[in-house]
């Protein structure tokens, strides 16, 4: 079983913001795998499907970004999923817009959603796919992450979502090493 969690904030107010890039990627994955969020479970929008003999669980926590660990911990406990079978998708201020990076484990880099997950799981030994949103030249980063992409940035955002989707397919069926080798 693989559990894939896209991080973001619930509600229309945040729908198209930079901080919801994890939701955008997991929505693309759900669409491509013909999965639908038909229920709410683990304080998340939830769907599960067997794909090529692999059970895939997709989660979009509805706890707000900084409490994402609450939802993820419930799912991990319920399915008794090992940390190596978890993937978290999130935005990253410290990477250029549109760049993706996959890691098998590591620090949280100040990302409060990842910190919440690491705190609840008691470990940072879970895979993560980070997507760069860039850092604002000036102003408050918290305002920036909650702002929508500009018209000029839309193309780069869409390319990043597609690349992230391809990386997730590789991770699900070929493993983390193949995924990192192909996409980092």
Catalytic residues: 19
Q: Which residue has the tokens 């100040």?
A: 110
CB atoms near residue 109 (< 10 Å): 14
Distance of alpha carbon 79 from alpha carbon 1, whole angstroms: 8
Burial of 42 (0-12, 13-18, 19+ CB in 10 A): buried
């Amino acid at each position: 079983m693989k559990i894939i969690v896209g991080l973001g904030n619930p509600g229309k107010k945040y729908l198209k913001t930079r901080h919801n890039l994890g939701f955008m990627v997991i929505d693309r994955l759900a669409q491509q795998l013909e999965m639908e969020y038909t229920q709410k479970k683990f304080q998340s929008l939830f769907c599960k499907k067997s794909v090529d003999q692999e059970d895939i669980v997709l989660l979009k926590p509805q706890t707000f970004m900084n409490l994402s660990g609450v939802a993820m911990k419930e799912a991990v406990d319920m399915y008794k999923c090992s940390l190596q079978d978890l993937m978290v998708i999130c935005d990253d201020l410290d990477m250029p817009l549109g760049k993706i990076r996959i890691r098998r484990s590591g620090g949280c880099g100040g990302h409060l959603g990842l910190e919440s997950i690491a705190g609840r799981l008691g470990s940072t030994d879970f895979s993560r796919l980070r997507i760069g949103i860039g850092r604002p030249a000036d102003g408050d980063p918290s305002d920036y992450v909650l702002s929508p992409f500009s018209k000029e940035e839309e193309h780069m955002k869409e390319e990043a979502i597609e690349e992230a989707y391809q990386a997730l397919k590789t991770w699900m069926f070929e493993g983390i090493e193949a995924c990192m080798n192909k996409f980092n």
